[in-house]
A and B are shown apart, each in its own frame.
Chain A
Amino acid sequence: GDSVTQKQGQVTLSEDDFLFINCTYSTTTYPTLLWYVQYLGQGPQLLLKVTTANNKGISRGFEATYDKGTTSFHLQKASVQESDSAVYFCALGSSGSWQLIFGSGTQLTVMP
């Protein structure tokens, strides 16, 4: 079945560091790939989404490219801020069903 893998459970950075969060997926259908961000005490918020292979989603300085060859959708940001501290979830939507399958999440902590 469809699946999403986030290998990094926790990432700790300092302000202005480069962020890279790994996400790979598996599906037999045409995927929609999304990143959600969940701040402490809140629900998940959509950060960015891509539906076409080789396209890049960009939002609030974050970007992720849908790489069909490596079945990846890694999240990157050139320079993180303390306010970016949150849990980041990669999610997969397949054309066969509109439910989303979430990765296990990556807790990002940015030190001032």
Chain B
Amino acid sequence: GALVYQYPRRTICKSGTSMRMECQAVGFQATSVAWYRQSPQKTFELIALSTVNSAIKYEQNFTQEKFPISHPNLSFSSMTVLNAYLEDRGLYLCGARTDSGNTLYFGEGSRLIVV
């Protein structure tokens, strides 16, 4: 079955420092990846949509300068949160998708705690 692994599961970083998170698809080809942030209240914010060999599309309020994303092949994507501050706290989820359909398969998430 489709599995998505995210690493690290949890990071505590000092305000103003950066955190890089990775997303690995196993058992399928992740042609597209959606990065979401889930708030403590459980709501989802879409950060960006990434398709291999295409430009990454960022949602309003999220920029490449703040959340650079790499999606070099069909099994791997990474995202960095640069200069993290308190408002960047949350669970960052990677949802991977194959060519067909709208189903996203999520990893366990990378939780960012900023102190």
27 contacts between A and B (CB under 8 A): A32-B101, A32-B103, A34-B102, A38-B42, A41-B108, A42-B109, A43-B91, A43-B107, A44-B93, A44-B106, A46-B103, A46-B104, A46-B105, A51-B101, A87-B42, A89-B44, A93-B101, A93-B103, A94-B102, A98-B34, A98-B97, A99-B46, A100-B95, A100-B102, A104-B43, A105-B42, A107-B42
A105 touches B43 (CB 8 A): yes
Please tell me which one of the listed residues B6, B49, B105 contacts residue A99 in the complex, with CB atoms under 8 A apart: B49
Residues of B within 8 A of A (CB): 4, 6, 32, 34, 42-44, 46, 49, 91, 93, 95, 97, 101-109
Cβ-closest chain A residue relative to B110: A43
What is the distance, in angstroms, from B96's C-beta to the closest C-beta of chain A?
11
Residues of A within 8 A of B (CB): 32, 34, 36, 38, 41-46, 49, 51, 87, 89, 93-94, 98-100, 102, 104-105, 107
A100 touches B42 (CB 8 A): no
